[in-house]
Amino acid sequence: MNNTALWYTTRGAGAVSLVLLSAVVVLGVLSTLRFESTSWPRFLTTGLHRNIALTAVVFLALHIVTAVVDPFTHLGWLAAVVPFSSYYRTFWLGLGTIAFELLLAITATSLVRGLIGHAAWRAIHWLAYASWPVAVIHGFGTGTDTWSGWMLVIDLFCILAVSLAVGTRLLVQSPDPLADDRARFRERVSRKVTK
């Protein structure tokens, strides 16, 4: 594979990863909102959220590997691991490293969710809301195609989709699956107290 092909692959994998990450965020919000219909059971949303997140990690890895092995930039593996250690576009590449490491933390803790407990998993999962915008800013800062019309359309589509999902998340309360049980329990407790 020549250098130019590596460069094109890096750019392609970066754009595809952005789309996949945006889909992951939207699906994550939908699963929080417990979205379901007759033809779309709830576990389909969570299953897709998990599967596409793992796919996104693979494509992000491809984006990083092709960028590192591209001899034009001589990034080195350290830049892929340690944020802001790259001599080349230090700040923007550092943001990319941070976004990827946040995503790795989210993915790893999701895989061992049973071991670390729900509260810790949930706290780390909130990092997704930081990882996605950092990745978008990384793309705007260092992406070669950022100001190309087609890439602007992709960026705009992703930003709109995630904004809409997050906005809905903020406006609509996540339904409590135990609401009825809690109400019955409170009622029983209050009855006993009044007796």
Residue selected from 90, 148, 163, 190 as contacting other proteins according to rule CB under 8 A = 148
Q: Tell me if 21 contacts other proteins by CB under 8 A.
A: no
Window 23-42: residues binding other proteins (CB under 8 A)? 23, 40-41
Cβ-based nearer residue to other proteins, 9 or 124? 9
Using CA atoms, how far residue 53 sits from 18, 26, 111, in Å, is 11, 11, 11
Q: Which of 19, 104, 161, 166 binds other proteins (CB under 8 A)?
A: 19
150 near other proteins, judged by CB under 8 A? yes
Residue 13 binds other proteins, judged by CB under 8 A: yes
157 lines the binding site for other proteins (CB under 8 A): no
Contact yes or no for 24/53 (Cβ under 8 A): yes
Q: Nearest-CA neighbor of 24 among 79, 102, 94, 82?
A: 102
The secondary structure of the chain in percent helix, strand, coil, rounded to multiples of 5, reads 75, 0, 25
Q: Where are the beta strands (DSSP E) in the chain?
A: none
| Cα–Cα distance, 68 to 105 (Å, whole number) | 21
Residues within the interface to other proteins (CB under 8 A): 3-4, 7-16, 19-20, 23, 40-41, 43-44, 47-48, 51-52, 55, 59, 62-63, 67, 70-73, 88-89, 93, 96, 142-145, 148, 150-151
